[in-house]
Structure 1
Amino acid sequence: MRIQTVSLVLLLCALALFPTPARADGIIIPEPPICEPGPCPMPPLPMKQLVIRYHRVTVTIHDQIAVTRVDQVFYNPNDWEVEGTYVFPLPEGAVVNEFTLWVDERPVEGEILDAEQARQIYEETVRSLRDPALLEYADRGAVKASIYPIPPGGERRIELEYTQALTAENGLVRYVYPLNTEKFSAWPLESVSISVDIRSTGAPIRAVYSPSHEVSINRAGEGHVTVGYEENNVTPETDFVLYYSLGEQEAFHLLTYRDPADPTDPDGFFLLLLAPRPEAGSQSVAKDVLLVLDRSGSMEGEKFQQAQEALRYILRHLNPEDRFNIITFSTDLQTYAGRLRPASEAEEAIAWVDRQSAAGSTDINRALLEAAAIAEGERPTYLIFLTDGLPTTGETDSERILANFAESAPADLRLFAFGVGYDVDTFLLDSLAEEHHGSSAYVLPDERLDETLSAFYAKISTPVLTDLELDFGNLPVYDLYPSPLPDLFAGSQIIVVGRYRKGGT
């Protein structure tokens, strides 16, 4: 039988100054039970209605381009039919290559959502069902397919393949495949396996290890390593994480692709990896640092204490020539000072931070406009914005908040957004960072906020290159992402993607 699949030939769009965990484990969200005749039994939590027979993942990573193929079988152990929607949240920047849903040994075409549709579905689903498993899914891209009713004792098989670019931090590449949500399967998985084939043509592969699972590692050559994990009758509770290091020498990698079989699209795609050489030294740049902290009621407790500790770290690690200010916000605003202050006042500022407490609603728009008003625009300004929620008072429309800040912020402002927990406006935070030379990261409830934010600031405190621009000469290029380009930091890597109309050198 000829297998029909949904196939997209797209280019990767990924940027990660700080790597974040990818939410990429497929689930079926069941509809209420179909009972004929009734009455229906009381159903368990939505995620408890189905069993995952097996979960097989095959990954190939070639020069930091990862292709992940997922094969899952869902089984209905109930006495009633289960019908629902299969949702597979994709890692940021990943694109789907193939998607096949099997019903009675026949392939059925699925629907691929754009980012805005996916975000709306996630938010509506998470907030309506309030199921703890669904709160795992907070990213902006997804594959969705309606699942034909699964009869009692019946199965449905789903195959999916997606591609993403992995960035290197200090020569270390990180790949994550979440198995976490499989703990919500009604029974343990009969079989789970992950196979990873890593190849590098530009640099030898050094160390390979997994901090999360016991894996077998086989070195087939200096630039070729295979990694395997397999277990039976298990309920996974942690994500699969794999690290490998590269003996990187080059700071510039260009990958191009043009489909000769498509006469309707003669243009090509390119992916550019930029990284400073290992010996490239970073220099201290006189900068302004604006710390904007959410102190609404939902931050109360350990989250706010860790945020305070992170601010203490940043204040104590300012360079002597830096200036700073602090804004805390909820329903109202509190500002440390009326204007930027010298780094020598760090200890006084720490005492002010220690006196803050969490209460009230979340006025994100007002906090951002206050930060823009404080920024003087004389030198690079780093705005570190931290929140655990959605805008709930003042201006609450994300598009208006983005427009208001774009009108007010100076051109040289870099915004780095941190979302804490699951109930955050990822569209707003991601867009703020992308439009203002920065990046966004998300800290899960079981991760330490203070350690994450402190490590992030330690990296960005001394950039190697700022105000980056790319000169393509006479080569016509378009659809560049990201734009504008972020700063380049020691040990980090920037991925630039786009399209070109003619070949060139």
Structure 2
Amino acid sequence: MSFFSDLFGRRRESSASSVARPEFLPYIEAPQGERAIELQRVEIRARVTGVHAETSQTLHFHNPNRRALEGELVFPLPDGAVVTGYALDVDGRLVDGVVVPRREARRILEAEARKGVDPGLVEQVQGNIYRTRVYPIPARGGRTVRVTYVSELNVQGDDAGYHLPLADANAAAPIELRVEVVQAPVEPVLSEGLGNLALTRFEERWVAEATLPRGLAGDDLQIRLPRLPPRFTAVERRAGDGAFFCVSARMHDEPGERAAFSPRRVAIAWDASGSRADTRKELELLRELLRRWRALTIDLVVARDACAPAERFVVKDGRCDALLERLAGASPDGGTDLEALDLGRAPHPDVEAWLLFTDGLGTVRRGAPALGRARVFCINSQAASHGGLLEHVARANGGGHLIDAPHT
């Protein structure tokens, strides 16, 4: 990640599997006043080909209420992931959806809704958050939904890694898990802590299957492809469908070390809106930055639907307890208006860079903050986020985008 290269003056030499992601699962929002829709079972199929992965999640929901409900399925995806399939159960079997133009989709939605039929329309809300209406969910009955998406593996140096958050997932429901790594040029390495899940070689693929009971203490699913060659190819042949191939070529980073970034003064823009309830990882990262930078001045701007006046903090000997206490005590509340944040007007002329802690999701207005000459480093540890916006802001002036604050 260029973030660590720029901030600490060296390349981050960690394996692709070391990058932690927040835990999340799709969920159905039930109408207010009703008992929550229960997730009874999850089936996950992950298929890695080259440096891409196709993930399919089949979710079995149950309505414990005495009347049929309409629910809204909300599912955050990894940054950069693309939805490639959506299916909803009709008369006991899953029926795949098709892609139609927006105007036609709206017409179908209205026509089917008048008939009392759920047309199964998937909508990208903002950033990596998608949603779809599920109706009807029968009284004391269930519905099944399948979501399929394709994402790139996380590539760092010669390693590539696939990551699926599962550490807390089976606290909600039992999980049936199947993993395939197709025509890998190296032997894949599977993380431990997932019951009896183990990769076995079968013809041209590695396969692993396991059932994780509800409540089983486990870990995230991580697959690492270590020491990949610069270029490799995978070819598949399917009966009646012809042949498919994937060519993966790795671009080499620029050689050499970068000078360490040791600022004397930086500004922090801290998003304290209601969508950022858990910022422990970000505070941990900030604490590490203070230890490394040792002595500097920090101008803090707390942002929600409006920006609070700047506050000044002084870091001495790598510590600033007052700053960390201020941020930990900033209650997540209200909306987000990043357009109200002007990064082109620093609180002090000596500010060398901005550290922007936000998920990028605007609830008041959805635009980006105004930019100036100072570099902006975007930091986010939330599962639901607008990674594209954060990437744009970070790259505009040579900054960086850290999608997760890792354990230090």
Give, in angstroms, the shift of residue 175 of structure 1: 1.6
The reply on whether 1:25 has 2:25 as its aligned counterpart is yes
Deviations 1:305-364 (A, max 9, x none): 746522323315x9xxxxx76333343324579xxxxxxxxx84635x345451779998
Do 1:419 and 1:442's aligned partners in 2 also have CA atoms closer than 8 Å?
Answer: yes
Question: Which of 16, 22, 37 pairs up with 1:49?
Answer: 37
* Match of residue 432 from structure 1: 393
Question: Which of 209, 212, 215 pairs up with 1:228?
Answer: 209
SS of corresponding position for 2:177 = strand
Give, in angstroms, the shift of residue 196 of structure 1: 0.7
Query: TM-score if structure 2 supplies the norm length?
Result: 0.65
Give, in angstroms, the shift of residue 60 of structure 1: 0.9
* Match of residue 288 from structure 2: 310
* Match of residue 164 from structure 2: 176
Give, in angstroms, the shift of residue 69 of structure 1: 1.6
Deviations 1:186-212 (A, max 9, x none): xxx4x52111111354x41253323x4
Give distance in 2, aligned partners of 1:112 and 1:30.
Answer: 17
The reply on whether 1:193 has 2:171 as its aligned counterpart is no
* Match of residue 92 from structure 1: 79
Question: Which of 248, 251, 265 pairs up with 1:274?
Answer: 251
* Match of residue 356 from structure 2: 385
Give distance in 1, aligned partners of 2:155 and 2:65.
Answer: 46
**Letter aligned with residue 267 of structure 2:** V
Identity of aligned residues (%): 16
The structure-2 alpha-carbon separation of the partners of 1:416 and 1:309, relative to structure 1 and needing over 3 Å to count, comes to same
Give distance in 1, aligned partners of 2:399 and 2:151.
Answer: 20
Question: Which of 200, 214, 222 pairs up with 1:242?
Answer: 222
The structure-2 alpha-carbon separation of the partners of 1:384 and 1:308, relative to structure 1 and needing over 3 Å to count, comes to closer
Give distance in 2, aligned partners of 1:305 and 1:69.
Answer: 33
Deviations 1:236-287 (A, max 9, x none): 676632132412242x67999xxxxxxxxxxxx99864244xxx96424265
Give, in angstroms, the shift of residue 68 of structure 1: 1.0
Do 1:23 and 1:91's aligned partners in 2 also have CA atoms closer than 8 Å?
Answer: no
Do 1:51 and 1:76's aligned partners in 2 also have CA atoms closer than 8 Å?
Answer: no
* Match of residue 464 from structure 1: none
Do 1:329 and 1:367's aligned partners in 2 also have CA atoms closer than 8 Å?
Answer: no
The reply on whether 1:163 has 2:150 as its aligned counterpart is yes
The reply on whether 1:285 has 2:259 as its aligned counterpart is yes
**Letter aligned with residue 175 of structure 1:** H
Give distance in 2, aligned partners of 1:105 and 1:424.
Answer: 34
SS of corresponding position for 1:310 = helix
Give distance in 1, aligned partners of 2:218 and 2:256.
Answer: 36
The structure-2 alpha-carbon separation of the partners of 1:166 and 1:51, relative to structure 1 and needing over 3 Å to count, comes to closer
**Letter aligned with residue 401 of structure 2:** S
Give distance in 2, aligned partners of 1:200 and 1:325.
Answer: 52
The reply on whether 1:369 has 2:345 as its aligned counterpart is yes
Unaligned 5+ runs, structure 2: 1-15, 98-119, 236-245, 303-307
Q: Give me the CA root mean square deviation.
A: 4.6
Deviations 1:56-90 (A, max 9, x none): 11111011210112222222333222221222222
Q: Would you tell me which structure has more helix in proportion to its own residues?
A: 1
Give distance in 2, aligned partners of 1:182 and 1:301.
Answer: 20
**Letter aligned with residue 310 of structure 2:** L
**Letter aligned with residue 26 of structure 1:** P
Q: How many residues align?
A: 341
Do 1:22 and 1:91's aligned partners in 2 also have CA atoms closer than 8 Å?
Answer: no
SS of corresponding position for 1:332 = coil
**Letter aligned with residue 180 of structure 2:** D
The structure-2 alpha-carbon separation of the partners of 1:17 and 1:150, relative to structure 1 and needing over 3 Å to count, comes to closer
Do 1:255 and 1:272's aligned partners in 2 also have CA atoms closer than 8 Å?
Answer: no
